[in-house]
Amino acid sequence: MSDLPLLTILILVPLVGALAVAFLPGAGDQPKRLGLLFSVLTLAVGVVLAASYDVGDGGLQLTETHEWISAFGVHYALGVDGLGLLMILLTVALVPIVLLAAWNDDEQSEGSGARRFVAWTLALEALSLTVFAATDVFLFYVVFEATLVPAYFLVGGFGREKRSAAALKFLMFQLGGGLVLLGSVIGLYVVSAQQGSPSYLYTDLQQLDISTEAGRWLFAGFFIAFAVKAPLFPLHTWLADTTEQATPPTSVLLVCVLDKIGTFGMLRFCLGLFPEASEWATPLVVVLALISIVYGAFVAIGQDDILRLIGLTSLSHFGFITLGIFVFTAQGATGSILYMVNHGIATAALFLLAGFLIRRRGTTLISQMGGLEKKTPVLAGLFLVAGLATVGLPGLSQFVSEILVLISAFDYRWYVGAVAVTGIVLSAVYMLWAYQRMMTGPDNPAGDTSDLNRREVLVLTPLMVGLVLFGFYPAPLLDVSNPTVYTLLDGTGVPDDGPDVPIGTTGGHEESED
């Protein structure tokens, strides 16, 4: 089993599936059935990958390295640590759910629409998995940019009337960030060539002696690209327009998978390759994170479009994730990794529930809904659970993530923690107020008032199980993430001044009690 190139197989399965769906003949439900089959096969390979992973080792595992462009030191190199593994598992779990959720969507339910949606979804999955597994910076950059192709067609091809403009705005922002990243990628080649033979391998780049000035410029290129992708204030304006115009299943792929590449990159490359520059930039990044937390929550309160509201909540949540990364403590980094997973689960549930509700009511406007709690109790109840998870209710998964980030924020500066806490208070306002207007009060008789059917309940069940399971028992996530966090922080050379909070003893790393 250890000799199998599991990561390559993991990437090839959805890629072959995308090509099969796009080019093989079939009518009716054939594209959807075939796509679902390949997504489930990808999930199965992901489970095998997780079973082959040693949770006690925080370094890169299951590595594959093959020379690609020798003149530039470029390799086809793959490997995973705890961070990459969790992002891979989140991706392979969400894609089958998305395909099932979109099964009866009007534009994606039959003919060429279904074929295109399924093919682009599987292509995006394959490219995202490559991003999370790439251990060569040039390979990472290539697939980082390539993810924009299926994402653009998913946004522009399906959704509401202004989807083309939203897709173009999304693409322009992402391409701008990618061009900045390209400058830093070229800069890494120059630095590595000056110190011997050029190499883009992550492990080789970690050994480079990069000057302070060069490191800060290179860091800036990486960080700006990741801040666009995440997104982070003030590079976030594409987010709400995109989630408002795209279909809810597409929004799940963008916000819960694709946007995670931004915060993944901050941990892997900003901290991993430029620790001094990351510490130097921390005050500015913390300010931007706090603005994202508070501004995103405030703006979400005033939204009448439920899809736009959910998109803006993610701006606030990504602020929390970024804050946890840049306070340079084990608790903060672990909280950020858990936040990435738990946010993906909770926000996916919210988007899909909103989609099921919109299909029944024929509108995305909160003001035109109301009184659904009695007629659709299952839908209303599950929406409340997902909403409370995004608020950080104790007992649901996102609470664990937020408490770890807040512990680190208060330890970094008490006033940073105090500002961050306001984001949690505001999240309760926008989510509970939205629930009140949509589900309680006088009934709006317009539209279908049927409750969730069996397929829709099946789609949501794994997400709800994840919200509750990881809320009461986060140990599986901690066991995977802790060794990677300790390895990453040890490699930065930045002292961890965080509080002595016993979040785990895996991987042979037990925090001392001073």
Give, in order, the Cα–Cα distances in Å from 383 to each of 59, 257, 305, 373, 425: 38, 21, 16, 10, 19
- In 3D space, the residue among 19, 156, 18 whose CA is nearest the CA of residue 95 turns out to be 18
Angle at 53 between CA 52 and CA 59, to 5 degrees: 145
Inter-residue contact 124 to 17 (CB < 8 Å): no
Can you spell out the DSSP letters for 46-71? Answer: HHHHHHTS-TT--S-EEEEEEEEEGG
Position 503 scores a pLDDT of: 47
Give, in order, the Cα–Cα distances in Å from 13 to each of 19, 40, 257: 10, 10, 18
- Both tokens of residue 374? 């009695």
Mean pLDDT by 10 residues, the chain (514 residues): 81 93 75 90 94 84 88 89 92 93 65 80 94 92 92 86 87 90 90 84 85 89 91 86 88 90 91 88 92 90 87 89 89 90 92 88 80 82 89 86 90 88 87 84 65 87 92 88 85 60 45 39
Diameter over CA atoms, the chain: 72
d(CA 385, CA 327): 30
Position 110 scores a pLDDT of: 47
Position 425 scores a pLDDT of: 87
Tokens 């050994």 -> residue:
207
Give, in order, the Cα–Cα distances in Å from 263 to each of 182, 193, 253, 476: 18, 28, 15, 21
How would you class 196 by CB atoms within 10 Å of its CB: exposed for 0-12, middle for 13-18, buried for 19 or more?
exposed
| Cβ atoms within 10 Å of 106's Cβ, excluding its own | 10
Residue 76's SS3 state is strand
pTM reported for the whole predicted model = 0.90
Tokens 């306002």 -> residue:
429
Position 499 scores a pLDDT of: 55
Q: Report the amino acid identity of residue 229.
A: K
